């Protein structure tokens, strides 16, 4: 089983995690910029963090044979802090870097006017830099948050096929599916989505534009839940090819929209492999 984790915060994980992930079949990851748990007090602290996402962390991952790319953004939570907002001026510099494959995580946390503005500004940056966008949806008031997210995406003019709306569940998947955006699901040990619930969603909504991630961060999380979801799919009667599509080809197809995804070390022959209905426009 080859696995591409499209959303994982490796900065909060140990080398033991990298080792276990490599053993489980994880060959590539995307690490979105996010909130570090403790408030940052000035833009310089973001610059150091972004530098580690495009420098140190890819180096650390490579030691375990894992390809590492990043997404860069001012996250929604810190968009509310006036001390952090000047970060928006730093972001273009990072969007030029080769290993940056999307603008993200952007979107809503508490759905404030400040978040509205940062979200719109960064969607415009995604259009300008011809990058896809990774959109976080709020964990509280999720149904309403997703509806408002989809409105803002529509107004921004970015093509829905270049947007991944993440942290979805049974309640929100349908709305996103209808828009043509990609759908992300974060699988957690004991809250939110679990492998069996994910399998049910794949059964009822199909495999097109579906991405599964572990979102592993500082909270209780497990970087092997992508693998566990693949195993749960097989146990439920999905084929090896179905698992490969969800855990590898779909994330590869999405981040390939950046034109920058480099998987040369992972055994993948490139984004335009046979059998990917996604890239042909999909059934």
- Residues contacting residue 84 through CB under 8 Å, at least 6 positions apart: 40, 42, 43, 46, 74, 78
- Residue 186 Cβ, how far from Zn ion at the closest point, in Å? 7
- Stretch touching Zn ion by CB under 5 A, among 34-42, 55-63, 65-73, 82-90: 34-42
Nearer to Zn ion by Cβ, of 34 and 254: the residue is 34
Nearer to Zn ion by Cβ, of 34 and 182: the residue is 34
Asked whether position 35 contacts Zn ion by CB under 5 A, the answer is no
CB 208 within 8 Å of CB 277? yes
- Residue 210 Cβ, how far from Zn ion at the closest point, in Å? 18
Q: Which residue is nearest to Zn ion (CB)?
A: 34
C-alpha 79/C-alpha 65 separation (Å) is: 35
CB 33 within 8 Å of CB 70? yes
- Stretch touching Zn ion by CB under 5 A, among 18-26, 30-38, 144-152, 255-263: 30-38
CB 216 within 8 Å of CB 12? yes
Interface with Zn ion in residues 38-67 (CB under 5 A): none
DSSP letter string, 126-195: HHHTT--EEEE--SSSHHHHHHHHHHHHHHHT--GGGEEE-S--TTTHHHHHHHT-EEEEEB-SSSSB-H
- Residue 73 Cβ, how far from Zn ion at the closest point, in Å? 11
- Stretch touching Zn ion by CB under 5 A, among 33-41, 73-81, 247-255, 270-278: 33-41
Nearer to Zn ion by Cβ, of 238 and 250: the residue is 250
**Of positions 18, 34, 46, 254, contacts Zn ion by CB under 5 A:** 34
Please give the residue ranges that form the binding site for Zn ion (CB under 5 A). Answer: 34
């Amino acid at each position: 089983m080859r696995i591409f984790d499209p959303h994982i915060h490796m900065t909060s994980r140990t080398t033991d995690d990298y080792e276990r992930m490599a053993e489980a079949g994880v060959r590539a990851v995307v690490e979105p910029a996010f909130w570090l748990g403790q408030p940052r007090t000035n833009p310089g602290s973001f610059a150091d963090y972004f530098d580690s996402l495009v420098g140190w962390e890819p180096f650390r991952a490579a030691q375990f044979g894992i390809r590492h790319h990043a997404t860069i953004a001012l996250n929604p939570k810190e968009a509310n802090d006036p001390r952090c907002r000047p970060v928006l001026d730093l972001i273009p510099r990072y969007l030029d870097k080769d290993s940056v494959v999307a603008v993200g995580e952007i979107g809503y946390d508490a759905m404030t006017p400040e978040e509205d503005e940062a979200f719109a500004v960064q969607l415009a940056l995604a259009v300008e830099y011809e990058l896809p966008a990774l959109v976080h949806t709020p964990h509280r008031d999720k149904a309403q948050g997703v509806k408002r997210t989809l409105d803002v995406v529509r107004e921004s003019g970015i093509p829905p096929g270049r947007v991944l709306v993440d942290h979805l569940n049974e309640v929100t998947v349908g709305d996103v599916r209808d828009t043509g955006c990609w759908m992300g699901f974060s699988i957690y040990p004991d809250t939110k989505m679990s492998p069996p619930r994910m399998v049910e969603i794949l059964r009822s909504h199909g495999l097109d534009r579906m991405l599964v991630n572990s979102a592993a961060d500082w909270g209780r999380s497990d970087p092997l839940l992508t693998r566990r979801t693949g195993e749960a799919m097989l146990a439920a009667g999905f084929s090896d090819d179905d698992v490969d599509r969800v855990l590898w080809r779909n994330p590869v197809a999405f981040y390939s929209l950046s034109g920058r995804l480099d998987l040369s070390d992972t055994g993948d022959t490139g984004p335009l492999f046979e059998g990917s209905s996604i890239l042909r426009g999909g059934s």
